[in-house]
Chains A and B, each alone.
Chain A
Amino acid sequence: MRVAVAEDVVLLREGIARVLRDGGFDVAVSVGDAEALLQAVDRSPVDVAIIDIRMPPTHTDEGLIAAETLLARTPPMPVVVLSQAVEPAHAVRLLGDGRGGIGYLLKERVAAVDDLLEAVQRVARGGTAIDPAVVAALVARRREHDPLAELTPREREVLALMAEGRSNRAIAATLVIGDKTVETHVASIFSKLGLEEAPDDHRRVLAVLTWLRHA
């Protein structure tokens, strides 16, 4: 699987590339800014791009804009965005109207090698990967008459994994429970939160994240 890495800190860029190579990816593009990334993937298309949000020249949201550019292409190019701060707003902004092929990870997640590889693979296949820290922050958010209070501890775990972008099967594997049990939990969660079942996993992520942010 061909991967592009856009990260302005050389040390980190090389580190990420090494982790990816070790994980069996083909790091076809390795650049230091968004402009170079867009040019490189034009010449040599990749299956997924890993992009740091803050890059030269302004060190603000160059990476986010580049990610949106890639997502808007036909077909959309899957992207994993690396953020230095926990900002659910960024995740929701990327998810747009519920498209897949999107990852939003904290930068330090690259050190959790297995998680990183798993997330990149999921996104490359059109799935969604939201950093657990982002989800945790949203779940912890205080709400008036918090409907989350009605969830069982197990349901909360399922909700968090759903928000991270995992499929029912992945959730079942993570929690070591049966697929059917996960489906039951999901149905119960949606009913308690007053949400409609989403047709696919990434729309489900968007629905859950939006609910978590605004409820």
Chain B
Amino acid sequence: MLSDGRRRLVLAAIGIVALVFGPFAAYQLTRTAERSPALLLADVAVGWSMIAAGLIIADRRPGNRIGPLAILTGFAWFLGDFTNSDVAVVSYLATVFHGWFDPLFALVILAYPTGRITRRLDRALAIGFVAVQAAWTLVQAYGLRPIAWWDCPTCISTVDRWTAAYTAMDPLGRIETLLLTGLSVGLLVVVTARWVSASGAARSRQTPVLLAGLVLGGSFIVTFLWQTVLPTNAREPLGELRVIVLALSRVLVAIALMIGVLRDDAAKGRIADLVVRLDGLPPLPVLQASLRDALGDPSLEVYRWKSESGAFTDAAGQLATPPADGAARAVLAIGTADAPELLIAHDPALRDDPGLVSAAAAAVRLAVENERLQAEVRAQLDAVTASRARIVEAQDDERRRIERDLHDGAQQRLVSLQLSLQMLRRDLGPEADPAAVAELEAASAEAAAAIADIRELARGVHPAILTESGLGAALGSLADRAPLPVVLTDDLDRRLPGSVEATAYFVAAEALTNAIKHSGASRIDLRTWLADDHLHLDVSDDGRGGADATDGTGLTGIHDRVAALGGTVRVESRVGEGTRLMVALPCASP
């Protein structure tokens, strides 16, 4: 295989040769007879169009044999112009080989569009064309010996010698024409049948071949009739017209064939569009429309597996039984082989172009996979978010439980104990042993201290007032206790979900602790209000600012807690301008 650059160079060279060779060949025609410019133009146009089509195909589809075949066909065409050359050798070679134009053209048609001839009938036809032409070439090579250079190296070819040689071969020539005409009719039948049986995309793809077959077959039939049926005196006036009409149709066919082969480019472009469009998996009707468009198959159908119903649905969302893969429909499964997620049923004619279908399938597979991964990530994220919220809630519940246990258990018992001690003290009366009374007082004081300790411990774990009276009261209590002036503006008019209240409370407590410990503030403003289904909490101080969310546990802990409830935290802390913490916690109105 040549590199791209090399191949282009070779193709360019062939193109230049063809550019020069075409007019030169046409010029040969004018040497023996008067020719109209239209005819000369038509002659050049046929050769050029075939060569040009071949060059373009060879450039864009390096692996496709149609390119070289078409180039050869074009040059074979020009060869015909040299049959009347007055140089014997040229005339001889041209005459012997120029007949290859039609068989080569037939091969192009049979190999269309992939460059391969695979069907048995097609192969038979191809072999027939080549065999007949090869045989005729040999016959001509032998029969035209009288004008060949080795018989008369110095001879100038003359009409007389030609006529004599041709007349001798005439019976064989008629057989050759008959055989090629028969093969052309066969070709015509094959392409017509293929076109009729194809539908939609495949049919439009087969159209250039039908045209080509009609032209080739038609040209043979016309020539056959020309030579066998038409009276000799009628041939001459119609001759030029026949040549021009045939030539023009051949030009059209060359162009159509080239477009047909290159259609893949447009198709590939549509596949690329498809990939872009299938960023996520679109709804089934959209997917189906996109695939129909990309593959040019309006009969294409998409089915999706619905695990809920255990069946496939079609694009309309109806339960449907997809066709089986076979002669009637081609079915492509996306997903695992035994459990496909999507089925694409398409025109079996598209099997001729496996690359296109597999590219489209790859795009869909990518979209399906993408969709699946996205859904998975979403589900995981949802699960993580939910579990994080649950962890925070569980933590709050646990703290509440511990606080309640402290209050209702240990603290109550200690109060009871202290009460008992006091009653004991009373029962002992005024004349009790002073040492015993002192012991009793000491025990009572110890109990009182333990009660106070437990009270503070319980408050730290979870302030009772938060459960009892809500966030506003709890923040007020926080402000009451702060060693700095804390100005609370509480605009809450209702109780909020426990986790929201607890989070806001602990965030406020943490922010106050930070401000008191690190900011050097002389005053802290604490503000809460409800807006847009969010609880807002603002804690601002007049300290030195410059707080860094990354340096310690304080702000990080606040971030984590708030994020667990899906809330947001913003910190403004420019050096010298104090610190402002803004928290918003989602909390839908009741």
Contact = CB atoms under 8 A, between A and B. Distances in A.
Nearest to A88: B480
Nearest to A61: B468
Contacts of A88: 477, 480
A19 B423 contact: yes
A9 B412 contact: yes
B419 A16 contact: yes
A114 B477 CA distance: 29
A11 B480 contact: no
B469 A110 contact: no
Nearest to B484: A142
From B421, B458, B467, name the one whose CB has the most chain A CB atoms within 10 angstroms.
Answer: B467
A22 B415 CA distance: 18
A107 B415 CA distance: 7
Interface in A1-52: 9, 11-12, 15-16, 18-19, 22
Contacts of A141: 480-482
A169 interface: no
A143 interface: yes
A66 to B, nearest CB: 13
A142 B482 contact: yes
B473 interface: yes
Contact of A108 (B415, B458, B483, B523): B415
Interface string A150-181: 00000000000000000000000000000000
Contact of A112 (B413, B422, B467, B473): B422
B496 interface: no
Contacts of B477: 87-89
Nearest to A133: B452
Interface in B401-442: 404, 407-408, 411-416, 418-423, 426
A137 B480 contact: yes
A64 B467 CA distance: 13
Contacts of B411: 84, 107
B408 A9 contact: yes
B63 interface: no
A89 B465 contact: yes
Contacts of A18: 423
B444 interface: yes
Interface in A105-147: 107-108, 110-113, 137-138, 141-144
B179 interface: no
A181 to B, nearest CB: 31
Contacts of B444: 111
A108 B480 contact: no
Contact of B481 (A93, A111, A137, A144): A137
B422 A111 contact: yes
Interface in A75-93: 84-90, 93
Contacts of B415: 12, 107-108, 110-111
A208 interface: no
Interface in B466-515: 467-469, 473, 476-477, 480-485
B412 A85 contact: no
A90 B465 contact: yes
Nearest to A143: B485
A123 B483 CA distance: 32
Interface size class of A (residues with CB under 8 A): 35 or more
A86 B407 CA distance: 13
B54 interface: no
A12 B419 contact: yes
A88 B488 CA distance: 15
B480 A12 contact: no
A144 B523 contact: yes
A85 B463 contact: yes
Contact of A144 (B448, B464, B469, B485): B485
A108 B477 CA distance: 20
Interface in A41-75: 53-54, 59-61, 64
B522 interface: yes
A100 B444 CA distance: 32
A113 B408 contact: no
B388 interface: no
Contacts of B476: 89, 213
Contact of A54 (B407, B419, B473, B523): B407
A162 B26 CA distance: 128
From B415, B448, B467, name the one whose CB has the most chain A CB atoms within 10 angstroms.
Answer: B415
Given A9-B408, A142-B482, A144-B523, A22 B426 contact: yes
A142 B408 CA distance: 31
A15 B417 CA distance: 10
Given A12-B412, A111-B418, A111-B444, A87 B485 contact: no
B91 to A, nearest CB: 117
B270 interface: no
B468 A54 contact: yes
B469 A93 contact: yes
A30 to B, nearest CB: 15
B455 interface: yes
Contacts of B412: 9, 11-12, 107
A115 to B, nearest CB: 11
B416 A85 contact: no
Contacts of A138: 480
A175 to B, nearest CB: 23
A110 B411 CA distance: 13
Nearest to A92: B476
B451 interface: yes
A9 B418 CA distance: 15
A110 B419 CA distance: 7
Contacts of B404: 59
A80 B522 CA distance: 37
A213 B468 CA distance: 19
Contact of A60 (B408, B419, B468): B468
Contacts of B467: 60
Nearest to B472: A89
B459 A85 contact: yes
Nearest to B407: A84
A113 B452 CA distance: 18
B458 A85 contact: yes
Nearest to B467: A60
A50 B78 CA distance: 122
A188 B227 CA distance: 141
Contact of A12 (B416, B421, B426, B484): B416
B143 to A, nearest CB: 118
Interface of A: 9, 11-12, 15-16, 18-19, 22, 53-54, 59-61, 64, 84-90, 93, 107-108, 110-113, 137-138, 141-144, 213
11 contacts: A15-B420, A18-B423, A19-B419, A85-B459, A85-B463, A87-B464, A89-B465, A89-B473, A108-B452, A111-B444, A138-B480
Given A19-B419, A54-B464, A144-B522, 20 more contacts: A9-B412, A11-B413, A11-B416, A16-B419, A54-B407, A64-B469, A84-B407, A85-B459, A87-B469, A89-B469, A89-B473, A89-B476, A107-B412, A108-B418, A108-B448, A108-B452, A111-B419, A111-B444, A141-B481, A142-B485
Those 4 A-B pairs whose CB atoms lie nearest each other, nearest first: A111-B418, A61-B468, A15-B419, A144-B485
